[in-house]
């Protein structure tokens, strides 16, 4: 039987060579290779400053702290997301206000953000889920109207665009994940991007034990409380080499996604989620909606195809429901629909046309 995984990391000879180089150099902590990796993110996204972190989760926490979110503040987040989006709000002592997502796109409902904004709202934390960019025009209007910060959970969306600008250069701060489900992966890791030099310096200091920063460089003094969220050069080496291949990786993903759409769009049992108008999806995951999702997923797995649920509805989980530090707003119909119906299909750089046809044929049979 065929075995088709959900994802496959891009680990080639040049990735292994670069890791070997770092190991031979003896410089194993965060250093010149991580710097180069950050520069590559700046070049690619067009943002002024990129800072490597140990994960997207730690990056989001640092980003919230950088804009001053803390005790007594509220942060608006979408219900349909990976739980890390909600956890980080509690970690900095603030209250998560959880609103619904669009049933069509699974992205945060912009009208509901406006309804949920109150005098304690300090930031909104929308998610460009699965590589689908947000409507940053709408988010900027909300930011300007209410004076809140837009911190983007861009865990899944390296390579996505809105009106010709890359994600990472569209929100006040964007935070990417480098977990192996993402196509640029360092095993564990994250990257924060911003055009605000003050926040970037603050984050640089915080992730380096609170060291002083002068001219965007660390000084040998300790100026504020801080922690250690540095990314080792060993891990950065993997991401740096992958970044050199990003255009090729991305065009392969988009081609495969387009083929999935062509194969499946006329199947009345399948609904393809909407991409944000004027946006370019980077397809970290290729997702669709089907009835009886769990059963279909089991049948696909029995045929060697590793299908997966999309992500989670926070309000259904103990960490968020009945939590006095979380406020759940609305009926969550969009989020519940996604939680019950969304399914991700295998998508990776060298998924062959034969294997993709096998996925689609097997799925079509399961749906009969």
Ligand X SMILES: Cc1ncc(COP(=O)(O)O)c(C=O)c1O
**Which residues lie near ligand X (CB under 6 A)?**
55-57, 81-82, 84-85, 127, 153, 155-156, 177, 179, 181, 190
Phi, psi dihedrals of residue 120, rounded to the nearest 5°: -90, -5
Nearer of residues 87 and 259 to ligand X, judged by Cβ: 87
**In the complex, minimum distance from the CB of residue 179 to ligand X, in angstroms, rounded to a whole number:** 4
Strand partners, 287: 344
> What distance in Å separates the CA atoms of residue 29 and residue 13, rounded to the nearest whole number?
22
Q: Which is nearer to ligand X, 211 or 281 (CB)?
A: 281
CB of residue 104 to ligand X, shortest distance in Å: 18
For residues 82 and 283, which CB has a smaller minimum distance to ligand X in the complex? 82
Shortest Cβ 134–ligand X spacing (Å):
12
CB of 178 to ligand X, least distance (A): 6
Q: Please identify, using beta-carbon distances, which residue of 52 and 127 lies nearer to ligand X.
A: 127
d(CA 140, CA 121): 15
Please say which residue, 190 or 346, places its beta carbon nearer to ligand X.
Answer: 190
> Strand ranges (DSSP E) for the chain?
49-53, 74-78, 80-81, 95-99, 121-124, 149-153, 161-162, 165-166, 173-177, 190-194, 211-214, 217-222, 279-280, 286-289, 308-309, 312-313, 326-328, 342-345
Q: Considering the complex, state which of residue 55 and residue 356 has its C-beta at the smaller distance from ligand X.
A: 55
Query: What minimum distance in Å lies between the beta carbon of 265 and ligand X?
Result: 26
Strands 279-280 and 161-162: antiparallel
Query: Shortest distance, CB of residue 292 to ligand X, whole angstroms?
Result: 25
Q: Which of 128, 239, 126, 229 is nearest to 178 (CA)?
A: 239
Q: Cβ 354 to ligand X, closest distance in Å?
A: 29
Q: Which residues pair with 305 in a beta bridge?
A: 4
CA distances to 85, 159, 273, 285 from 131, rounded to whole Å, are 15, 8, 12, 7
Q: Are 236 and 30 in contact (CB under 8 A)?
A: yes
- If the CB atoms of residues 34 and 177 are measured against ligand X, the closer one turns out to be 177
């Amino acid at each position: 039987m065929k075995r088709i995984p959900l994802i496959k990391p891009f680990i080639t000879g040049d990735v292994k060579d670069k890791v070997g180089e770092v190991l031979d150099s003896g410089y194993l902590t965060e250093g010149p290779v991580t710097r180069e990796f950050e520069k590559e993110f700046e070049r690619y996204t067009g943002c002024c400053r990129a800072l490597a972190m140990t994960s997207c989760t730690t990056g989001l926490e640092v980003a919230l702290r950088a804009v001053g979110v803390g005790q007594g503040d509220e942060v608006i987040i979408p219900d349909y997301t990976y739980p890390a989006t909600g956890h980080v709000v509690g970690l900095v002592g603030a209250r998560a206000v959880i609103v619904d997502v669009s049933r069509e796109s699974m992205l945060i409902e912009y009208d509901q953000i406006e309804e949920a904004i109150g005098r304690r709202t300090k930031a909104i934390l929308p998610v460009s889920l699965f590589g689908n960019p947000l409507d940053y025009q709408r988010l900027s209007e909300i930011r300007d109207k209410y004076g809140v910060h837009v911190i983007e959970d861009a865990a899944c969306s390296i390579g996505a665009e809105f009106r010709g600008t890359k994600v990472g250069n569209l929100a006040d701060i964007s935070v990417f994940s480098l977990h192996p489900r993402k196509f640029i992966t360092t095993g564990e890791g994250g990257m924060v991007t911003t055009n605000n030099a003050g926040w970037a310096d603050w984050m640089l200091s915080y992730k380096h034990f609170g060291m002083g920063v002068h001219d965007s460089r660390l000084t040998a003094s300790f100026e504020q409380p801080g922690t250690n969220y540095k990314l080792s050069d060993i891990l950065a080496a993997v991401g740096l080499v992958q970044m050199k291949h990003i255009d090729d990786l991305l065009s392969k993903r988009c081609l495969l996604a387009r083929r999935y759409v062509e194969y499946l769009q006329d199947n009345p049992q399948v609904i393809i989620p909407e991409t944000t108008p004027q946006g370019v999806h980077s397809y970290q995951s290729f997702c669709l909606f089907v009835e009886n999702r769990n059963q279909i997923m089991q049948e696909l797995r029995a045929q060697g195809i590793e299908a997966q649920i999309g992500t989670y509805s926070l309000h259904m989980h103990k960490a968020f429901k009945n939590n006095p530090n979380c406020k759940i707003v609305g009926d969550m119909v969009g989020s519940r629909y996604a939680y019950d119906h969304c399914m991700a299909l295998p998508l990776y750089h060298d998924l062959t046309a034969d294997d993709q046809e096998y996925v689609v044929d097997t799925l079509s049979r399961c749906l009969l």
